[in-house]
Chain A
Amino acid sequence: MTEISRRNLLQIMGAGAVAAVGPFGMAGKAFAAGRAKELNILCWEGYNSAQVLDPFRGSEKATVKAESLTNDPTMINRLRAGETNVWDLINVNNPWARKIMAPAGLIKPLPKAEFEPFFDKMLPEFKAPYKWAMSDDGKDLLGMAQRFGPYSFVVNTKKISRKTAEEQGWDLFNDPKLAGKYGILESDDWNVFNIFMVAGINPFKEHTPEEMKKFDETAQRVFKGAKMVGDIATMNQALISGEIDCHLTGGTYSVSPARADGYPEMRAVTPLKGPIDGKGGISWIEITSTVNNPNLSPLATEFLKYVQDPKVAHTVAFAEGTFNPVAQMGNKSCFDLFTKEELDAIQYDSLEEEMSRSAEYDIVPDYDKALDIMTAAKRLRG
């Protein structure tokens, strides 16, 4: 057994600490210096696919890592928890950049002169200054738009006609006869919006106790009556097998894989009317922003330019997972790349009218309270 003095012990502990931290510290320096050929993207699925990333990796000879998540709050949380020094780009739905991330200093503006001209080639509703890409004061460009779509609910039109679904709208889920014949997509933030919609309440405002009580009752009833709560694969499988006739929370984003697989009777529906200033549906628009990373990779802005290319935009629209319209379809050379089958999969025939009937995704001021109520309602299913 060796005996050592206290001083030696402290020296060993100090050496141990250096040994433990040293490599990380040095890696940190190397990390900063070597970021010219490195890009980290936090995104919804699609942007992480090899189809999208490999050509960029090849042309830039860069290491590009992308992590895909399927809800906005988790991604925002990652930045809040201190991962701003990890990520270069964040791809989330429209209100987060303008209302949450920019005020919290989690993202940084894009060079306006370089990026604003891209909006001129997008579909008409995205023309600069596009509201969701701009800061609240309208001075800064906070991100670029690409994928979007209406997102309310999905029906099997062989069981419930499109006309009936559009006319009845959210009341469809208030009909006791539908109990056991519908599913709910496990997208809890969107389910909060949609339970409010079924209750006939505008989700994107502060709610009174009476409205919250109605939300609670509706959540309990709707979740109790659902055949299952599951992911997109489960919903599409259940629709195709006849297990369910429709499902809550869904749109071109979720049903397009089933439509592309040869089930055009599965259709995303936007109600004709609803509680958001008369609008019956809700739509989403993805905004991709540069993270407020102290060592932001120069490739971040290059990647944003790369995905504006018509061919790449088309690849993004049909990357693995889900298929979606893209703002770049406003450019004829991009639109011409879409085949008839692809346009049918993303319901291009009704895209414009469905978007016009939809309110844009927004922040629910009392989301935390509503989510707690909804989670408690889910527990009562068992």
Chain B
Amino acid sequence: MADVALAAPRTESQSAPKRTVAIPAGLRCASPVILFLLLGFIAPLLTVVAYAFATPRSFDVFRSFTLENFATIFDSSNTVWMSFAWSLAFAFCTVVLLALVAYPIAYGLNRVFGKWSGLISVLFVFPLFVSENVRLYGWTLFFIKNGVLDGTLKTLGLAGGPEVLFTPGIILFGMVYVYLPFMLFPMTLGLAMVPRDLVDAARDLGAGRLMIWREIELPLAMPGILIGMLLTFVLAAGAVAEAKILGGQSVIMITHDIEIAFTYSQNWPLGSALAVLLMIIISGLALFVMSKLDLDRILGKR
């Protein structure tokens, strides 16, 4: 049916004048979605970019053009670079820790847990149904003085829990906890892509465990691992709740600075300029890493 309907105009077009613009049928069919994406995704993004070049502390978007917001950010006396540095450093550490934590779990889900894999996967997904803030407040109650941990240890006659709340360390803990599923599941899928026969063949040919891991498992699972790393890095670089709730703002993340600019500071152009810079840094870093990793080789196309 569709073929018939789409074929009909083709006959008409053959007699059309030469000065015509060709629009593929697919593009026409997709136009409502494209229009929706343009309005819902591209337009807000363009507005943010336009705001970044608007007069500071004004709403003159699309009516003014200035580089003043970027000049303010790059002013040598401005310490906002510290927030960028904290956010990127925390995101990097989160990715590294998550790679180390999630790999054995992903391996277990594929090879070890057997029929329990489904249930264990659900247990890792389950926290996602609860608001991130509620989960983080839960950890606050766990670690707070005379809270669950400290109170229980004192009841048992011990010295009490460690004073970890409201420190940078607990922020990292919170980020690893929150973003674990985002690393775990792409990694699990990646490891599922490794054919068991290949591992068996390598073992039959005398390869040791380490060699099998290095030469077969890791390269074949790399697409999933990379996607997990990229996803968690992007999410972690924009994290703010962990630093606010668990960290007691012991560190100011860049997203917190953006939030301050949009709220208390009443400076949407500066907030937009910070957001645009963050987008450039994150996408730039991601593209740089991807280019260095030679995706074609990893994905096995060569």
- Residues of chain A at the chain B interface (Cβ within 8 Å): 1-6, 9, 16, 20, 71, 73-74, 76-77, 80-82, 183, 186, 188-189, 226-231, 233-234, 237-238, 241-243, 368, 371-372, 375-376, 378-382
Q: A1-B25, A379-B252 are in contact. Are A20 and B39 (CB under 8 A)?
A: yes
Cβ contact of A5, chosen from B20, B57, B146, cutoff 8 A = B20
Residues from chain A with a CB closer than 8 A to the CB of B263 are 71, 73-74, 77, 188
B145 touches A186 (CB 8 A): no
Apart from A4-B21, A9-B23, 10 more pairs, CB < 8 Å? A1-B13, A1-B24, A2-B23, A16-B35, A73-B263, A230-B249, A231-B244, A234-B245, A378-B249, A382-B252
Residues from chain B with a CB closer than 8 A to the CB of A3 are 13, 16, 20-23
B268 within 8 A of A: yes
A228 touches B264 (CB 8 A): no
Residues from chain A with a CB closer than 8 A to the CB of B23 are 1-4, 9
* Residue picked from B23, B28, B39, B83, most chain A C-beta under 10 Å: B23
B59 within 8 A of A: yes
B250 within 8 A of A: yes
B280 within 8 A of A: no
B251 touches A382 (CB 8 A): yes
Residues from chain B with a CB closer than 8 A to the CB of A380 are 79
Quick one: closest A residue to B22, CB to CB? A3
B302 within 8 A of A: no
Bound together, the chains give a CA A339 to CA B288 distance in angstroms of 65
Residues from chain A with a CB closer than 8 A to the CB of B219 are none
A382 touches B86 (CB 8 A): yes
B141 touches A237 (CB 8 A): yes
B28 touches A2 (CB 8 A): yes
A185 to chain B, nearest CB (A): 11
B15 to chain A, nearest CB (A): 10
A237 touches B140 (CB 8 A): yes
Residues from chain B with a CB closer than 8 A to the CB of A71 are 263-264
Q: A3-B20, A9-B21, A379-B83 are in contact. Are A229 and B265 (CB under 8 A)?
A: no
Segment 158-180 of B: residues with Cβ below 8 Å from A: 165-166, 168
Q: A2-B9, A382-B86 are in contact. Are A227 and B248 (CB under 8 A)?
A: yes
Segment 1-59 of B: residues with Cβ below 8 Å from A: 9-10, 13, 16-17, 19-25, 28, 31, 35, 39, 57, 59
B216 within 8 A of A: no
B153 within 8 A of A: no
B82 within 8 A of A: yes
B83 touches A230 (CB 8 A): no
- Residues of chain B at the chain A interface (Cβ within 8 Å): 9-10, 13, 16-17, 19-25, 28, 31, 35, 39, 57, 59, 78-80, 82-83, 86, 137, 140-141, 144-147, 165-166, 168, 244-245, 248-252, 257, 260, 262-268
The 3 tightest CB contacts between A and B, nearest first, are A228-B248, A229-B249, A3-B13
Bound together, the chains give a CA A183 to CA B165 distance in angstroms of 13
B79 touches A379 (CB 8 A): yes
Q: A16-B31, A81-B268, A243-B145 are in contact. Are A381 and B251 (CB under 8 A)?
A: yes
Cβ contact of A234, chosen from B22, B25, B80, B140, cutoff 8 A = B140
Bound together, the chains give a CA A372 to CA B57 distance in angstroms of 13
Bound together, the chains give a CA A188 to CA B264 distance in angstroms of 7
B39 to chain A, nearest CB (A): 7
What would be 20 A-B contacts, judged by CB atoms less than 8 Å apart?
A2-B9, A2-B13, A2-B23, A2-B24, A6-B19, A9-B21, A71-B264, A73-B263, A77-B266, A188-B260, A227-B166, A228-B248, A229-B249, A231-B244, A233-B137, A237-B140, A241-B147, A243-B144, A368-B267, A379-B83
* Residue picked from A3, A5, A189, A241, most chain B C-beta under 10 Å: A3
Quick one: closest B residue to A223, CB to CB? B249
Quick one: closest A residue to B163, CB to CB? A243
Cβ contact of B245, chosen from A2, A189, A230, cutoff 8 A = A230
A220 to chain B, nearest CB (A): 11
B146 touches A242 (CB 8 A): yes
Cβ contact of A375, chosen from B20, B39, B248, B257, cutoff 8 A = B257
A178 to chain B, nearest CB (A): 16
Bound together, the chains give a CA A289 to CA B29 distance in angstroms of 49
Bound together, the chains give a CA A234 to CA B249 distance in angstroms of 12
B57 touches A368 (CB 8 A): yes
Q: A2-B13, A3-B16, A375-B257 are in contact. Are A229 and B21 (CB under 8 A)?
A: no
B137 touches A379 (CB 8 A): no
Bound together, the chains give a CA A107 to CA B28 distance in angstroms of 46
Bound together, the chains give a CA A189 to CA B264 distance in angstroms of 6
B147 to chain A, nearest CB (A): 6
A110 to chain B, nearest CB (A): 26
Bound together, the chains give a CA A9 to CA B244 distance in angstroms of 52
B31 touches A382 (CB 8 A): no
A371 touches B265 (CB 8 A): yes
Quick one: closest B residue to A75, CB to CB? B263
Bound together, the chains give a CA A20 to CA B40 distance in angstroms of 12
Bound together, the chains give a CA A82 to CA B47 distance in angstroms of 14
B46 to chain A, nearest CB (A): 16
Bound together, the chains give a CA A9 to CA B23 distance in angstroms of 9
Residues from chain A with a CB closer than 8 A to the CB of B251 are 381-382
B210 to chain A, nearest CB (A): 39
Residues from chain A with a CB closer than 8 A to the CB of B248 are 183, 226-230, 234
Bound together, the chains give a CA A228 to CA B39 distance in angstroms of 41
B146 touches A77 (CB 8 A): no
* Residue picked from B80, B83, B166, B251, most chain A C-beta under 10 Å: B166
B152 to chain A, nearest CB (A): 14
B159 to chain A, nearest CB (A): 16
Cβ contact of A238, chosen from B13, B79, B144, cutoff 8 A = B144
B155 to chain A, nearest CB (A): 15
Residues from chain B with a CB closer than 8 A to the CB of A382 are 82, 86, 168, 250-252
